[in-house]
Amino acid sequence: MASPLYLAAVDLGATSGRVMLGTWSRNRLRLTEAHRFPNAYRELGAHAYWEIGTLWHEVQVGLRRAAAALPRGAKLASVGVDTWGCDHVLLNDAGRLVFPVHAYRDNRTQPGLAALARQGADRMYAATGIPNVFYNTSLQLAETVARCPAITDLATRCLFLPDYLNFLLSGRAENELTVASTSQLLDVHGRDWSRTALEHFRIPPTWFTPPVLAGQKLGRVTGMPELAGAQVVAVPGHDTACAYDAMPAAPEGGDLFLSSGTWSLVGFEHPQPLLGPAAQAARVANERTGLGGYRPLTNVVGLFLLEQTMQDFSQRPKHPREWDALIAAAAALPAPAVLLDPADPAFTAPKSMRAAIDAQLKRRKAVAPKHLAGYTRLICDSIGRGHAAAAANFEQMTGRKFRRILMVGGGSKNRLLCQATADAAGIPVVSFNLEGTAVGNMASQLIALGAVRDLATFRRQLGADLKQKVYAPRGAARLKVES
């Protein structure tokens, strides 16, 4: 029998990052956490930035720990990096950072967002398949170029965060397709950049190179002797693309995918993009799979609502047992009469989420909850309804009927949210005990290394040994699509 293969997945989210060690043996993938660390953007004056040096430091700590955890004599075969979408760095020819790394929640894009809504959003949607949303790279780069025009002399290259970490690891600078597809700068009908969009936002086309597909080997890790020999593989750089790859979906279709974390990404794989006024109105983002396919999805504000509300309560849960108690208390409450509109722009980056929620409820003449359990119930039911609305919209646009919602990510462990989703959507939610983003990241590495034939094979093998929990819909709560 061949000896096991060892892989590392660097998986960065907006609120925490981690490095996972994967062991592939007898067609099974076993994951252990080598390192986990908090992540947050920091405000300097009016703007929000990532601490990119700290992130890189933590990534290296994690990779060293992963290497140190291997059996004597064993080596890491490869490393892959995925992160949240949209955020990027600007470099010069020497690979030096020439602009600070802004966080997508920085409100610098608000004027550009409003201007595009007045004029150009339809054209950009037709060109890129990405709706006009505040975090788009297009709006961020347009603001950078407009406010700091000298940047076009200083910078020669734009890399997205996973591309940049790949570059630090391997020395090779490439744009990877899935994360490029979050930018609103990629041609929705091809795999290259959209001239129309780059011109509209006045972004130098020379900052980008044609995106590479997932699975491309970028070279060996340099500068870290503990990882000598490990290949850096361009996996789907966008965490959502990785999470979708890890969905043990039925091959005949019929499954809707939900990656539930800070954001709730509700979508599916489709042979072509969903375009036109209905898709644009439903804010369907035609993001891409690692091999260039389409995964139309709607981004529903997710557990960010709960994570942020918790900050306003000193008695927030810290241990799994306290979490269970909170969810049980919330589940025992009566269903709220008025649910939140999660798309409220006031929820983007409020100083106090509780105050932002209370303000929305007050506007709608509803009473604010009195305790954390009340907020938890309100938030889970509201997000659940958001999931169901996205599902109903997709059914209407495609004529498909979804049979199940497959759920991965932190939210899949939240039984209140899973049940609220099933109840509102009227179909079962199947939640998997699965580190979706890290597993998808490693799937691409395994395929690149020749250990697994293709993604369909990987999903089949994964599905065979996963624990799952089914939440059947209760009652007649199914959401009707408003026409």
Q: Which residues lie near ligand LFR (CB under 6 A)?
A: 13, 84-86, 104, 135, 182, 238-240, 262-263, 265, 299
Distance CA 126, CA 120 (A): 10
- Which residue, 264 or 309, is less far from ligand LFR as judged by CB? 264
Please, what is the minimum distance in Å from the beta carbon of residue 299 to ligand LFR? 5
Cα 396 to its chain centre, rounded Å, is 25
Decide: 188 and 420 in contact? Cβ < 8 Å: no
CA distance 325 to 312: 18
Alpha carbons 140 and 90: distance in angstroms, whole number: 12
Q: Which of 11, 239, 255, 423 is catalytic?
A: 239
How many other β-carbons are positioned within 10 Å of the β-carbon of residue 251?
A: 10
Cα dihedral 29, 32, 34, 38 in deg (nearest 10):
110
SS3 of residue 38 by DSSP? strand
What sign results for the dihedral spanned by CA atoms 206, 140, 283, 383? positive
C-alpha pair distances (Å), 423 with each of 335, 361, 383, 415, 431: 12, 23, 12, 12, 14
Looking at beta carbons only, is 23 or 182 nearer to ligand LFR? 182
Determine whether 255 is an active site residue.
no
Taking the least distance from each CB to ligand LFR, the nearer of 14 and 67 is 14
Shortest Cβ contact with ligand LFR: which residue? 85
Minimum CB separation of residue 105 from ligand LFR in Å reads: 9
Which CB, 301 or 447, lies closer to ligand LFR?
Answer: 301
Q: CA 14, CA 86: separation in Å to the nearest integer?
A: 12
Of 6 and 208, nearer to ligand LFR (C-beta) is 208
Strand order in the sheet with 284-288: 284-288, 294-301, 263-267, 255-260, 404-408, 429-432, 468-471
Q: Minimum distance from CB of 439 to ligand LFR (Å)? A: 15
In the complex, the smallest distance separating the C-beta of residue 418 from ligand LFR, rounded to whole angstroms, is 19
Phi (first) and psi of residue 94, to 5 degrees: -85, 5
Nearer to ligand LFR by Cβ, of 299 and 419: the residue is: 299
Q: At closest approach, how far in Å is the CB of 175 from ligand LFR? A: 16
Least spacing, CB of residue 104 vs ligand LFR, in Å: 5
Q: Known catalytic residues?
A: 239
